[in-house]
Structure 1
Amino acid sequence: MTTSATLHTLENGVRVVCDPMPGLETVALSVVAGRGAAYEDPARSGWSHLLEHMVFKGAGGRSARDIVEVIEAQGGSINAATGYERTSFQVRALKGGLDLGMSVLSDLVLRPTLDEADLTREKQVVAQEIAEAADAPDDYVFDLVQAAAWGDHPLARPILGTVDSVNAATVEGLSDWRGRLYAADRLIVSATGAVEVDEVLDLARRQFGALPSAKGAADFAAAPFIGGRKSQARKLEQAHLVFMLPAVSARQDDYFALRIFAEALGGGMSSRLFQEAREKRGLAYNIDAYADTYADCGALGVYAGCSAGDAAETAKVCAEQIVALADKIEDAELARAKAQLKAHMFMAREQPLSRAEQAAGQALMFDRLYAPAELAQAVDAVTVADLTRLAGLILGPRKTASAILGAKGALKAGDVFERALG
């Protein structure tokens, strides 16, 4: 079993992924810059996300309305997203829409207008987005735990930035930041669906081949897991709890062991946390575990939403289940977690846009593409001994990060979690 995807590099360093999916009548295109909020200094916090907004206000001679209408008139859709390590611009289109999609996305990335009046308005929009995030406790609690886990590192700051840092942005400053953020050395053009290699490469050369081959923003330093507590008392119907422990990065050998550990711990309805906290004790409606990985660091996380009166007990259960899983995993449990992980990865590959993003991520992280068989083999190769070793890495440093948002009575849950780890 081999991947149909191929990875190519243009003369200026821009990398191009072409991944035909026979039988499809649609195209997915992602232009991904391998930089995001983690590359910002405090003064530029939120600028990557603000820039992503701004390029849609006008680019390549098209107005904001033109950008959307020209894509939607052909049955397509356009979107973008900013993360800590990457910024993605995406187009879905009918077969034959690759040329237009590539033209529009190259304009957004390389030729945005960046108008002063638009910037003034967009700062107000982003300020509302920041306020909205603060008003959504099940979102805001993750900003709090990032701050608790990563100390002074950019990973500790919210991707949206602050109102003050966003308001400090200027057209000139954003233009300079765009050149650093979307530089050729970390730019990936990834096309899937009803595409052909020659067409993708020809269009990529035409639209991105003239970009200077200069390097962009310097790689950020690896983030040390600091740990700590970030809690806020609010009058809420639920308490929102997030606990994190240091783990491995996406590039380390135990990456798949971490994914499997998180899956067995809280990845589905058969997971330990779901069965113990929800099914047996009725403590939480929502509870899950996740692996949060970056190029050079990572963490194991647990989220739970529960009543304030149950927060301490929920925290205790979370810690106890982590310790119990670290001590022993049953063969059937390990097999089930592997099957679930492979299903998540391969189901995503059946969706063209997810497939394009997945390939772009592999190119950015490893400068190569992985066949499904390779991924399956890596998952299947994880042993009980691997999970035991990983557990030592997670629990050994005796560091935890927690964020609690809810009634005052829930705020002790972070201390309870730490004590229950033993």
Structure 2
Amino acid sequence: MTAISSSTAPNGLPIHRVQLDGTRAVTALVAFDAGARTERAEENGMAHFLEHLVFKGGEKYVTYRDVNETAENLGAQLNAYTSHDLVAFHITARAEKALEAIDLLTDFVGRPRLDGEELDRERGVVIQEIARSNDQPSTVAEHVIDRAAFGDHPLGRPVLGPEEHLRDTFTREAIVAFRQRQWAGSRGGAFVVGNLEHLPANGALDELFDRFPDLPAPPPYEPAPGFAPRTLVEERDSNQSHLRMMYRPAIDATDRRARAALAIYSTLLGGSMGSRLFDEIREQRGLAYSVYALSHAFSDVPILQLSAGLESGKAVEAYTRMREIVAELRTEGPTVEEVERARAYAAGARVLAFENTNAVARHAANQTIVFGEEVDPDAAIAALDAVTYDEVAEVARGIADELAIGVVGPHTVADFA
């Protein structure tokens, strides 16, 4: 059994300690319900830009050099990510350096300087990041399918935001205001995962995490819209196309067991080399060099996405057959054997991922902040192991033949009518 304990810092930030036996590493991760979903339209891209800016230094580690060199002197790996759901910062170090690593992380993330000159310099860096993503058709396809599925809702906007926001509207005052509005301890969490034997029991950990300001809870984010899917094509003169298809499964996103059943379904559909999509679209028909399915659940809406990268001349045939495979699973159901294989594969993949302290910390942050559920990694594995055939078959029946379509390549909307 995984040993887990929790406390709350004076600023309201929950602190979860997850002891993992057999590792020499520890990961400290701090996350907030302050991802792109929480942005107003004029703020799109601000959550990600703020993620960049805090690395420029805090009160104790004043400059970006202080932050970077301290992490290297600890032998630690330092990083962050912004999604629609969350913004998170994490450091992984050898267990003996855990308290020093947390001291570094909580200083520049909890007490960032947000220097105006550094802000202006970083604008250019993020603008280049946006330009790079726009040069990558597979990334553009992700943006297109989000717009096709969610329209102008925050879930339909790119996490990086538009270039003009970086150039024209992101002032230091606006960024500080966003942080003050969204980075509340009550809508966040700190997670310390791995070998915890070198952490003191004298309250030092809570004191470090109390460096984050005590802020009021943010307003609720905009609920996910009803499903009004569209077909969107970004035409590019290319021999290669990137196809995305998004369904909205008929499950309750807040039901952990239903999410686990959806994960098994997406695995047998396109999550492994034994899946239906990989076997037929790639191996039997040779229609795509990359084809897969994945499921995701935001706090109030689940999605199922099918993706393919392929020669443009084969895109329509691949799309047609991929849609037929989903329909066949809806009407005929999966086989018992493929459900058993997919369940074993999905649970095994989760076990292997959880050998990494960072993966456990990231999963724990998503579970507790997005869904308000327990952080126990053993429970996540058990949830997959417990999925039944009937539950997966029910998910398959609930994938209606209504989908958003996003394509990048030499096509028109009429090709996918």
**TM-score normalised to structure 2 length:** 0.93
After superposition, the C-alpha distances for 1:120-148 in whole angstroms (9 at most, x for unaligned) are 11111111111110100111100110011
Match of 1:393 among 393, 398, 401: 398
Displacement of 1:165 after TM fit? 2.0
Match status 1:206 vs 2:207: yes
Aligned to 1:172: 173
Displacement of 1:196 after TM fit? 3.9
Match status 1:139 vs 2:135: no
Aligned to 2:104: 104
Aligned to 1:308: 312
Displacement of 1:211 after TM fit? 4.3
Aligned to 1:418: none
Q: 2:8–2:15: 8 Å Cα contact kept in structure 1?
A: yes
Q: 1:183–1:213: 8 Å Cα contact kept in structure 2?
A: yes
Cα separation, partners in 2 of 1:124 and 1:322, compared to 1, 3 Å:
same
Displacement of 1:366 after TM fit? 4.1
Q: Distance in 2 between matches of 1:309 and 1:380?
A: 41
Aligned to 1:353: 358
CA-atom RMSD in angstroms: 2.0
Displacement of 1:76 after TM fit? 1.0
Displacement of 1:269 after TM fit? 0.7
- Aligned partner of residue 131 in structure 2, secondary structure: helix
Displacement of 1:378 after TM fit? 2.8
Aligned to 2:410: 407
**Percent of aligned pairs sharing the same letter:** 31
1:287-366 equivalences under 5 Å are: 287-326=291-330, 327-366=332-371
After superposition, the C-alpha distances for 1:72-130 in whole angstroms (9 at most, x for unaligned) are 01211211111111111111112222222212221222211112221111111111111
1:219-298 equivalences under 5 Å are: 219-224=220-225, 225-247=227-249, 248=251, 250-252=253-255, 253-298=257-302
Q: Distance in 2 between matches of 1:266 and 1:123?
A: 38
- Aligned partner of residue 200 in structure 2, secondary structure: helix
- Aligned partner of residue 180 in structure 1, secondary structure: helix
Q: Distance in 2 between matches of 1:391 and 1:215?
A: 42
**TM-score normalised to structure 1 length:** 0.92
Q: Which amino acid aligns with 2:313?
A: G
Q: 2:329–2:397: 8 Å Cα contact kept in structure 1?
A: no
Q: Distance in 1 between matches of 2:373 and 2:258?
A: 19
Q: 2:99–2:205: 8 Å Cα contact kept in structure 1?
A: no
Cα separation, partners in 2 of 1:148 and 1:200, compared to 1, 3 Å:
farther
Aligned to 2:9: 10
Q: Which amino acid aligns with 2:247?
A: L
Q: Distance in 2 between matches of 1:209 and 1:250?
A: 32
Could you tell me which runs of 5 or more consecutive residues in structure 1 were left unpaired when the two chains were aligned. Answer: 416-422
Q: 2:339–2:392: 8 Å Cα contact kept in structure 1?
A: no
Q: Which amino acid aligns with 2:254?
A: R
Q: Which amino acid aligns with 2:133?
A: A
Q: Which amino acid aligns with 1:400?
A: L
- Aligned partner of residue 100 in structure 1, secondary structure: helix
Cα separation, partners in 2 of 1:203 and 1:147, compared to 1, 3 Å:
farther
Aligned to 2:43: 44
Cα separation, partners in 2 of 1:210 and 1:351, compared to 1, 3 Å:
closer
Aligned to 1:93: 93
Q: Distance in 2 between matches of 1:405 and 1:260?
A: 28
Aligned to 2:219: 218
- Aligned partner of residue 276 in structure 1, secondary structure: helix
Cα separation, partners in 2 of 1:89 and 1:371, compared to 1, 3 Å:
closer
User: Could you tell which deviates more after superposition, 186-195 or 19-28?
Assistant: 19-28
Q: Which amino acid aligns with 1:65?
A: R
Q: Distance in 1 between matches of 2:252 and 2:63?
A: 41
